[in-house]
């Protein structure tokens, strides 16, 4: 296993970049590439960057390091944040996003990173890259804060599929586990199905049926199956891979974000009202900085579209250089880990269990 | 309206109490009743308390105020936290919980308060009290933090019905609105349907159909219908009544609780690691106290089963006197507001819209 990773690391990594997606593009995109290169001086990486030639050249001049590690390909158009999937799916061939994804399909690069329109990125990725063999549907995946410190849990799906049958959730578990132990460095993670109670009679028939099967084959699974988990088990750190349908996952993710923001606001408001707190706040600067770093969504945000023949990474529309750099890290990690090869192996290994569904 | 409330306030309020439910019962129950009476010296209220005679007498002796305002009725058995609904539904006639709920059915009291087994309380309440005419299914309702300060949003359903059709969600909106403007003191609240995006094409057909109808009849609704809302809109304070199915509501509620706990833990951990923070922490005691009060679940926890012919209020199993006192407050507020009368009025008023579903 180690030698395999080493071998991969020795090959040149080629990542495709949508230079025009996101509110702060292309500035944040170039800043992000530059930051990634600075942090990984010994990595043999190359970017294939798609966007407006003129703008790209202006920014490339400011970042000689990027200039040295990138090829720039002119894309005359771009996808806007307000574009509707149905309207642009067949007419977007000349956009930077389409061309960057198509570069992965053509085999020129292993992964695509974009801060552009989520819906369009997901739809184009699915259309161009196609679903992996043995996987029923691709899923949007991300890390969420779990259990304090730097601990994170992998959660999927976050919105690609509203309704999911047993086979689809089985595949999400398979992919979530591979993601956790390759990119997330969690060997044999604790994996649970999100439900509204821990008893096996809870939830709908799909969940009950899958739970029964996974329990029956517990010893053959590559992850530690812990059964049903509840919404509060995620942040308590009881579970490392949370499997759910896209409807529920999307709502949970947004609820976590919203609650974190609200508490931050309550803290700031309360501190502002205390004269003593203001007086001593300069002493506490480093404490607040540490808390901020731990809760900073830029350090873990970024959603990955798993289950396609190529890696598609999305970062927030308002990503700055740091956030974009982290998104490149996900693309790089998936490539290093040869993620899709592990998926193919597990698909074979678990086929005899899956076919019982 | 004012004279109606006045009139209700002048009548004696009679509330039924399960003295044996919850981890800290009956101590917390008696403490809660005592606290409520202290806070509402001018209210003409009477408790009908069900539980073990011997234990009740011991506690009543310590609280002369409770003794003065209560009737004690012996119940030889009690529901345990581990009891399963299916097993006790028909054999629980002699438990304090059953007898307390049945007291509402018999018309002796207007509301029942219990800290006991949630599943059993909900099932017995539904069986004994029956669903209100014109309402398809009862819903579990609670308040969640929303928008900072003391602001709260009403959310329903929180787990009574996993799947909900258009009519059921329509009824939840109707009940949530009445709850918000009577108990929550929010005149014409902003009401939204929880979804994974704000566009009208998002979500399943049930949501799309209901959204279309509510938009068409916007001017006739007793609430301000704001369309689809997302998970992060709740804590941002954009919405005052959140309508969703019991599956989603339950998961959102537990995610909020879990995230709040995690952030508290991160704050404490980080503070503990800073010597300066420890040194000045005594100066900040009042700041932390204020934050704690604002986020204290005891001040708003308590789930109410709306849509039955009588009010059934559940508070956490580990409720202390303060939490139990707050649960009594909900029961008292529902009674004062003549909640079910408003429901009946709105059922009539909105019938012509509902029948289009």
Q: Which of A325, A163, A226, A266 is nearest to B294 (CA)?
A: A266
Nearest CA in chain A to B195: A251
Percent of chain A scoring above 90 in pLDDT: 72
Q: Could you identify the residue written with the tokens 């590690």?
A: A69
Mean pLDDT in residue range B110-130 = 95
Q: Please return the burial class of B290, using the count of CB atoms within 10 Å of its CB with bins 0-12, 13-18 and 19+.
A: middle
Among A85, A228, A259, A275, most B C-beta atoms within 10 A, so best to mutate, is A259
In this prediction, residue A7 carries a pLDDT of 45
Alpha-carbon distance of B31 to B37, in angstroms, equals 10
Confidence of residue A272 (pLDDT cuts 50, 70, 90): confident
- Using CA atoms, how far apart are residues B200 and A65, in angstroms rounded to an integer? 45
pLDDT of residue A198: 87
Residue A224 has phi, psi (to 5 degrees) of -90, 105
Confidence of residue A2 (pLDDT cuts 50, 70, 90): very low
Q: Is the pLDDT of residue A51 over 80?
A: yes
DSSP secondary structure code for residue A285 in this structure: H
Q: CB-CB: which of B233, B247, B267 is closest to A196?
A: B247
Q: pLDDT by residue (tens digit) across A183-205?
A: 999 999 999 999 998 888 889 99
Q: Which chain B residues are within 8 Å of A284, Cβ to Cβ? A: 274, 276-277, 280
Alpha helix positions (H), A218-274: 231-236, 246-272
Of A196, A252, A253, nearest to B159 by CB-CB distance is A196
B224 DSSP β-pair partners:
B190
Nearest to A94 by CA among A112, A78, A80, A111: A78
pLDDT at B269: 74
Residues A4, A338 contacting (CB under 8 angstroms): yes
- The interface pTM score, or ipTM, of the predicted complex is 0.84
DSSP β-bridge partners for residue A112: A16, A312
The confidence band for A8, taking pLDDT boundaries of 50, 70 and 90, is very low
Name the residue with tokens 């995690």: B262
pTM: 0.88
Q: Give contacts of A266 with chain B, Cβ < 8 Å.
A: 148, 291, 294-295
pLDDT of residue A10: 57
Give the tens place of pLDDT for each residue, B227-280: 999 998 998 899 999 999 999 999 999 998 888 888 777 777 777 777 766 766
pLDDT confidence of B211, banded at 50, 70, 90?
very high
- The residue with greater pLDDT, A323 or A298, is A323
- Read off the pLDDT of residues A338-354 as tens digits, 9 standing for 90 and up: 999 999 999 999 999 99
Mean of per-residue pLDDT scores for chain A: 90
Sheet with B13-18: strands ordered across: B70-74, B45-51, B13-18, B111-114, B311-314, B303-306, B139-145, B152-156, B241-243, B190-194, B224-229
> What pLDDT score was predicted for residue B107?
96
In this complex, the residue of A234, A251, A294 whose CB is nearest that of residue B266 is A294
> Which residue shows structure tokens 């029942």?
B112
**Res A39: pLDDT:** 97
Beta carbons within 10 angstroms of residue A345's beta carbon: 13
Nearest to A136 by CA among A110, A116, A103, A163: A163
Cα distance from B287 to chain A (closest Cα, Å)? Answer: 7
Residues of B in contact with A256 (CB under 8 A): 231, 255, 259
pLDDT tens per residue, range B157-201: 998 999 999 999 999 999 999 999 999 999 999 999 999 988 888
Mutation target vs B (from A254, A261, A296, A297; most B CBs, 10 A cutoff): A254
Residues of B in Cβ contact (< 8 Å) with A270: 287, 290-291, 294
């Amino acid at each position: 296993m180690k030698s395999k990773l080493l071998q991969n690391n020795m090959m040149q990594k080629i990542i495709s970049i949508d230079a025009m997606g996101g509110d702060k593009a292309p500035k944040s995109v170039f800043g992000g590439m530059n930051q990634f290169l600075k942090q990984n001086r010994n990595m043999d990486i190359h970017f294939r960057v798609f966007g407006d030639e003129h703008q790209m050249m202006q920014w490339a001049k400011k970042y000689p390091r990027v200039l040295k590690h990138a090829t720039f390909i002119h894309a005359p158009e771009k996808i806007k944040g307000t574009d509707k999937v149905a309207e642009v799916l067949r007419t977007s061939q000349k956009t930077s996003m389409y061309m960057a994804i198509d570069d992965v399909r053509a085999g020129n690069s292993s992964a695509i990173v974009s801060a552009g329109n989520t819906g369009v990125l997901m739809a184009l990725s699915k259309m161009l890259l196609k679903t992996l063999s043995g996987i029923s549907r691709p899923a949007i995946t991300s890390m969420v804060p779990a259990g304090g410190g730097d601990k994170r849990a992998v959660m999927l799906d976050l919105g690609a599929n509203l309704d999911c049958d047993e086979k689809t959730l089985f595949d999400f578990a398979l992919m979530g586990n591979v993601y956790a132990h390759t990119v997330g460095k969690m060997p044999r993670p604790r994996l649970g199905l999100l439900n509204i109670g821990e008893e096996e009679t809870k939830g709908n028939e799909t969940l009950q049926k899958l739970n029964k099967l996974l329990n029956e084959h517990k010893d053959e699974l590559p992850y530690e199956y812990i059964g049903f988990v509840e919404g509060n088990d995620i942040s308590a750190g009881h579970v490392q891979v949370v499997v759910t349908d896209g409807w529920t996952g999307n709502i949970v993710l947004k609820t976590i974000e919203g609650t974190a923001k609200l508490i931050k606001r309550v803290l700031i408001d309360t501190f502002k009202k205390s004269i003593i707190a203001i007086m001593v706040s300069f002493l506490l600067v480093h404490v607040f900085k540490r808390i901020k770093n731990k809760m900073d969504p830029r350090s873990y945000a970024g959603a990955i579209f798993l289950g396609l023949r190529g890696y598609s990474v999305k970062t927030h529309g308002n990503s700055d250089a740091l956030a974009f750099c982290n998104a490149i890290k996900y693309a790089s990690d998936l490539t290093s880990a040869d993620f899709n090869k592990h998926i193919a192996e597990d698909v074979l290994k678990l086929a005899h269990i899956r076919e019982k569904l």
